Amino acid sequence: MLFAASTQRTIGLVILAIVFFGGLVYIYFNIRSARDEIGSELELASNRKPYLSDEDLEGKKLDLALGTSLVLLTITAVTLPLYWLGEPGRHEGRDIDTWRIFTNRGEEIYVEGAQCVSCHGPEGSGGAVSTAITSASGEFVAQVSWKAPAIDTVLSRYTEDEVLHTLNYGRNGVMPAWGAGGGGPLTDQQLEEILFYLRNIQITEDEIREQVASGVEDGAKDLIMATSDESWAVDLRAAQASADEAAWAVRLIARDEFGFDCAAADGVPECDADMAAREALKTSNSAADQPLQSAFDAWWADVQSAQQTAREIALEADPSLDDGGNEEKWRFAALEILSTPDSFEGQAAYLQYGEILFANEAAAGTYSCARCHTYGWSFDATGPYMIEANGTDEAILDEYVQGGGFFGPNLRGGSTLDQFETAAGHATFIERGQAMGAPYGRGGSGGNGQMPGFGPLTESNPQGPGMGPGTGVEFRYPALLTADQIDAIVAFERTL
Ligand code: HEC
Ligand code: HEC
C-alpha cells in the first residue's frame, strides 16, 4: 500500500517536473526566436512575420499533428471505457473498506473503549452487572447481580434508531448513557461504529430457536422440580434445601472468620458439611435426570394438546374455519379461547408455557418480558431472597409480582384486556412492538419505541441490511419468537 502510494507519487512528481521544465524550455525558445525577429523589422512590417508556406504545412508537419491526435484519441477511447468498467469495483472496494474499518472500530469500542463486553459478554452473548439496589428514599438495600441481556439479537427486536436511543440515554441506571445526548462519553460517529459491530454479531434464526427452546426446557424443569409430588422430586427438593442451608451456614461463618473464603476454612465442620451436602445433591440430581426428562416430555405433550383442544373448540363454534385460507382466523379464534380463564380442562399447561416464555432465562433474559415488566426479575429476586451483603436477612422485595410493571407498564388485573380488545390485536402488538412515537391499543402513548417487537419483522420494524458488502452473506434479522410462542405469552398475559 505504502509502496504503491509512493510509486504513484514519484511518477506524478516526475511528470510534473517534465511539464514544468518543458514549459520553461518552450518559453525560452519562443522568446529567443521573437528576439531574432527584432532585426528584421527593417524589411518587414512588425506584424508581418512570414509563416510556413502551404507546401511546408501540408507535408510532414500536418501528418505529424494528425498522427499525434490520432494516437491521443485512441488512448482516450480505450482508457475511458476501461476506467468506467472498473468503477463498480472501486465503489465496492471503498464500501468494503468502510465496512471493515467501522466494524473493527466498533469492536474496539465494544471490547476496550466502552467495555460493553464486561456486562454484555463476548460478542454480545449476555452477562450481568453487579449493582446496588436502593430504596425509594435512596437508602442502600442490597448489592445484586443484574442481568445484562444478550445483544446479539438486539436488531431483531429494535430498529437501529431505537438501539441508538438506548445507547444514547442508557436505561434504568444499570445500562449507562453512552451518547453525548445523554451526557455520555461517545460521539455520534462512535455510536454508529458500534452499530456496524452489532450488525456483524447478530446470530442466526436456528441459534435463536435453540436458545428459546432450551430456556423453555430449563424453565419447565424448574417448575416441575418445584411442584411435582413424585418422590424423586420431593427428595431432590429436600437435598437442595439441606445444601442451601449448609451453604448459608458456611457463608455466615466464612464471612465472620475467613472473609468469604471456604477454602481457608479447611477442617471447619460446617464447611465439611457443606461439601458433603453438595456431593449428595449432585448424586440425587443425576438420579433425577431421567424422571425429570420424562416429566418434561409429558408436560410438553400437554401444552400441545391444549393448543389442539382450543382449535377444535373454535372449529365447533365456526365450522368454516377449516375452509382453505382461514388459517389466521382459526389461530386467533383458538387464541381467544386459550386467553379466557377456565375455558377447558388441560388449559393450565398452556398458560404455564406462556409464563415460562414470559420469564425465559436463556441468554441473560434477552427473550423474556419479565426483565422489563416485572420488578426484581433481572436480579433474581423471585423467591424468598436474602440480603447478604449488608448482613441482614430481610427480603429485598416485600412481594414479587409477575407482570406487575417496572420499565414497561403493569400487565395485571385485566389491564391488557382494556388496552387490546381482542387477543389478535394483543398478539399483533407483541409481534411488532412499539414503534417510536406511534400510539397503540386503546390508549397506548407514543413512547420511545422501547417495547421490542418479538415477531417476524414488519414495516414498523424493517429488516436490516445485508451483513456487509462483498462478504457474500445476506443477513436478515430473524424473529425472536414464533407465532405459537407469542400466542402462549398473550394467553398468559390476558389471564393475569
Ligand atoms: C455496566 C454494565 C453495562 C455496560 C458497560 C453496558 N451495558 Fe448495555 N445494558 C446493561 C444492562 C444491565 C442492560 C439492561 C437494562 C435493564 O434491565 O433495564 C443493558 C441494555 C442494553 C441494551 C438494550 C437491549 C435490550 O434488548 O433491551 C443495549 C442495546 C445495550 N445495553 C448495548 C450496550 C452497548 C453497545 C454497550 C457499550 C457501549 C453497553 N451496552 C454497555 C448493562 C451494561
Ligand atoms: C426492553 C423492555 C421491554 C421488554 C423486554 C418487553 N416490553 Fe412490553 N413494554 C415495554 C414498554 C416500555 C412498554 C410501553 C410502551 C409505550 O408506552 O410506548 C411496553 C408495553 C407493553 C404492553 C402494553 C401494555 C399496556 O397496557 O399498554 C404489553 C401487552 C407488553 N408490553 C407485553 C410484552 C411482552 C409479552 C413481552 C415479551 C414477549 C414484552 N412486553 C417485553 C418494554 C418492554
Whether the CB of 409 sits within 6 Å of ligand 2: yes
Q: How far is the CA of 374 from the centre of ligand 2 (A)?
A: 11
Query: 284 and 165, same structural domain?
Result: no
Measuring CA to CA, how many Å separate 107 from each of 94, 113, 137?
20, 9, 39
Q: Which contiguous run of DSSP H or E holds residue 130?
A: strand 127-134
How many A from CA of 204 to the centre of ligand 1?
Answer: 21
pLDDT reported for residue 461: 46
Tell me, using a 6 A CB cutoff, whether residue 350 lines ligand 2: no
Q: How many helices (H) and strands (E) does the chain have?
A: 17, 2
Q: Which residues, including other chains, have CB under 8 Å from residue 328's CB and lie 6 or more apart? A: none
Q: Distance between CA atoms of 57 and 208, rounded to whole angstroms?
A: 82
**Cell numbers standing for residue 73:** 484519441
Q: Which atom of ligand 2 is nearest to the CA of 449?
A: 18
Give CA angle at 130 (126, 134), nearest 5°: 125
The answer on 397 and 369 residing in a single domain is yes
- Choose one of 178, 196, 214: the last residue of a domain: 196
Taking the CA of 175 as reference, the closest ligand is 1
Looking at the fold, whether 167 and 223 belong to one and the same domain comes out as no
pTM of the predicted structure, to 2 decimals: 0.81
* Average pLDDT value for residue range 78-85: 89
301 & 449 share domain: yes
Does one domain contain both 178 and 316?
Answer: no
Torsion over CA of 59, 62, 63 and 64, rounded to 10 degrees? 120
Cβ proximity of 306 and 349 under 8 Å: yes
139-182 per-position pLDDT tens digit:
787 788 899 999 999 999 998 889 999 999 999 999 999 999 89
pLDDT at 458 over 90: no
Is the same domain home to 243 and 275?
yes
| CA nearest ligand 1 atom 12, residue | 148
449: helix, strand or coil: coil
Nearest CA to ligand 2 atom 33: 369
Torsion of CA 169, 170, 172, 174, to 10 degrees: -150
Q: Among the bound ligands, name the one nearest to the CA of residue 433.
A: 2
Within this chain, do residues 181 and 317 fall inside the same structural domain, yes or no? no
Domain shared by 351 and 397, yes or no: yes
142/234 same-domain check:
no
What's the burial of 67, exposed, middle or buried (CB within 10 Å: 0-12/13-18/19+)?
exposed
Q: Looking at the domain assignment, is residue 73 inside a domain?
A: no
Domain that holds residue 142: 117-196
Ligand 1 in reach of 116 Cβ (< 6 A): yes
Among residues 196, 215, 237, the one where a domain terminates is: 196
Ligand nearest to the CA of 166: 1
Question: Does any ligand 1 atom lie closer than 6 A to the CB of residue 293?
Answer: no
For residue 74, tell me if it sits in a domain.
no
Ligand 2 pocket test, candidate residues 146, 158, 371, 373, most atoms within 8 A of CB: 373
Residue 20 pLDDT > 80, yes or no?
A: yes
Task: Assess if residue 424 is contained within a domain.
Answer: yes
Is the residue at 481 inside a domain?
A: yes
* % of the chain surpassing 70 pLDDT: 86
Atom nearest to 407 CA in ligand 2: 12
298 and 394, same domain (yes or no): yes
Asked whether the predicted pLDDT for residue 464 surpasses 90, the reply is no
Q: DSSP character for 180?
A: G
Whether 263 shows a pLDDT value over 80: the answer reads: no
Per-residue model confidence as pLDDT tens digits over 182-212: 999 999 999 999 999 998 898 988 999 999 9
Angle at Cα 232 formed by Cα 229 and Cα 235, nearest 5°?
Answer: 90
Q: Which of 112, 119, 169 to mutate to test the pocket of ligand 1 (most atoms within 8 A of CB)?
A: 119
Q: Indicate the burial class of 230 (C-beta count within 10 angstroms; 0-12, 13-18, 19 or more).
A: middle
Tell the residue nearest (CA) to atom 15 of ligand 2: 451
In the reported structure, the alpha carbon of residue 489 is separated from the centroid of ligand 1 by a whole-number distance in angstroms of 24
Angle between helices 347-358 and 269-317 in degrees, nearest 10: 120
Residue 72 lies in a domain: no
CA of 170 to the centre of ligand 1 (A): 7
Ligand 2 binding pocket includes 154 (Cβ within 6 Å): no
Q: Is residue 389 part of a domain?
A: yes
Instruction: Mark which of 143, 169, 196 sits at the end of a domain.
Output: 196
- Coil, strand or helix: which one is 395? strand
What value does the mean pLDDT of the chain take?
Answer: 85
Query: In this structure, is residue 335 part of a structural domain?
Result: yes
Cβ(405) – ligand 2 distance below 6 Å: no
Mean pLDDT confidence for 454-471: 56
Is any ligand 1 atom within 6 A of the Cβ of residue 165? no
Tell me the angle at which helices 327-338 and 483-494 cross, rounded to the nearest 10 degrees.
30
What's the helix, strand, coil split of the chain in %, to 5? 60, 5, 30
Q: Is there a domain that residue 384 lies in?
A: yes
Q: What CA–CA distance (Å, rounded) separates 229 from 233?
A: 7
3-class secondary structure, 115: coil
Shared domain check, 305 and 223: yes
Check pLDDT > 90 for residue 41: no
Tally of domains within the chain: 2
Question: Do residue 340 and residue 237 come from a single domain?
Answer: yes
Which residue type sits at 262?
A: C
- Of ligand 2's listed atoms, the one at least distance from the Cα of 446 is 18
User: For ligand 1, is residue 114 a contact (CB within 6 Å)?
Assistant: yes
